[in-house]
Chains A and B, each alone.
Chain A
Amino acid sequence: MSEQQFDMGPKKVGDLSLEESRAVRARQAGRSRVMAIVLFGLCALFFAITIVKVGVWG
């Protein structure tokens, strides 16, 4: 067995325990959901602004 296998430095993603991995993924999922909502909202807003600016609506 090589010495590198006992390296106690920072853990890589693949080295996380099940509990750690779940916690990281839960955070990432929460942020992704919020980002999706924000991006969807911005798409709707930019569409509405464009329609108003070209004078079709109002």
Chain B
Amino acid sequence: MTIATNNISLPADWRDFWALTKPRVMSLVVFTALCGLLAAPGDIHPVIAFTAILCIATGAGASGALNQWYEAEMDAKMKRTAGRPLPDGRMERESALQFGIGLAAFSVGIMGVAVNWLSAGVLAFSIFFYAVVYTMWLKPNTPQNIVIGGAAGAFPPVIGWAAVTGDVTLLPVLMFALIFFWTPPHFWALALFMKSDYGAAGIPMLPNVAGQRVTRNQIFGYSFVLAAVAIAPWALGMTGTLYGATAIVLNLLFLGLAFAVWRSETTEAAAMKAEKRLFAFSILYLFIAFAALALDRMVLV
């Protein structure tokens, strides 16, 4: 921020640093990590559990800061992101980079020392995957950016599980797969009605590159894979009927909304009600699915 009369640069506000961490994304990360931690067999001291969740949240914040540092110019071209601290000129770019690296080092270091080095290693890899593989490599270069990049957001429940058990078994892998296959229909629903925004920034999202019909087909297709992965923990006997029933209901609803998106021929963003409904429901879907999984496992284990 500057005082217009004399062009004095003010130091960035602490709220701008907070905004760099993408707090809304962080809330989903913290929730899924907590569910992974609660679903894991074994005991963990509440202080160590709190430390693990804090480190996962801080690691997600580091990923967000590094992402915003790299994408500052792209963000300035999109309405949705133009108000962020860097494109809005409220902060020096170097500050965002230093903040991101500092948070990353802190979160991985504390996780390793206080919890265990397996969870610290997976956390380090997830930050690297989001900041480098997804942000710098996949996102600007391929319309499949969301498909492979979805892995970055899928690690938190695995880290939560590893924090308790010190290993990674089939159930955390299925939790990873649940977020991984949830990401494409979730983001492509958003990309359908934000197509012009992504186009303005030159990001090759699927609707801009392959067209709306292909995107709608892919959303519908991935919804079936998501349903299979979501029901698998119950079908394989790793959870009880609480999760099984919840997963079946959630996925029937998800498939219904994805079917409406598939059938729709709307090209006007303002008229894309089915796409907006699917996007909104997909967020609720993930919260309910993970809450049911954690609750079920807490009852079962």
**Do A11 and B8 touch across chains, with their CB atoms under 8 A apart?**
yes
Taking a contact as CB atoms under 8 Å apart, the answer to whether A31 and B3 are in contact is no
A48 CA to B10 CA in the complex, in Å? 37
A13 smallest CB distance to B (angstroms): 10
Q: Which of A11, A16, A27, A52 has a CB less than 8 Å from the CB of B47?
A: A52
Q: How far does the alpha carbon of A26 sit from the alpha carbon of B292 in the complex, in Å?
A: 46
**At the interface, yes or no: A34 with Cβ under 8 Å from chain B?**
yes
How near does chain A come to B52, taking the closest CB pair, in angstroms? Answer: 11
Q: Size of chain A's interface in residues, with CB distance under 8 A?
A: 20
Q: Are B10 and A24 in contact (CB-based, < 8 A)?
A: yes
- Note all chain A residues with C-beta closer than 8 A to B51: 45, 49
Complex contact A19–B11 (CB within 8 A)? no
Tell me if B54 is interfacial: C-beta within 8 Å of chain A. Answer: yes
- Partner of B48 from A17, A20, A52 at Cβ < 8 Å: A52
* Interface residue? A28 (CB, 8 A): yes
Residues of B within 8 A of A14 (CB): none
Complex contact B14–A20 (CB within 8 A): no
When the two chains form their complex, are residues A24 and B6 in contact, meaning their CB atoms are under 8 A apart? no
CB distance from A54 to the nearest CB of B (A): 12
Whether A27 and B10, one on each chain, are in contact in the complex, defined by CB atoms closer than 8 angstroms, is: yes
Chain B interface size, as a band, is 10 to 19
Interface string of B107-126 (1 = CB under 8 A from A): 00000001000000000000
| A45 and B54 contact, CB distance less than 8 A | yes
Which residues of chain B come closer than 8 Å to A30, judged between CB atoms? 13-14
Within 8 A of A (CB), among B1-49: 3, 6, 8, 10-14, 45-48
Residues of A within 8 A of B6 (CB): 11, 16-17, 20
Q: How far is the CA of A19 from the CA of B14 in the complex (A)?
A: 20
In Å, the complex CA distance between A30 and B13 comes to 7
Contacts of B50 in A (CB 8 A): 45
A16 and B11 within 8 A (CB):
no
A-B contact pairs, 13 of them (CB 8 A): A20-B8, A24-B11, A27-B11, A27-B12, A30-B14, A31-B11, A31-B14, A34-B14, A45-B47, A45-B50, A45-B54, A52-B48, A53-B114
List residues of A whose CB falls within 8 A of some B CB: 11, 16-17, 19-20, 23-24, 27-28, 30-31, 34, 45, 48-49, 51-53, 57-58
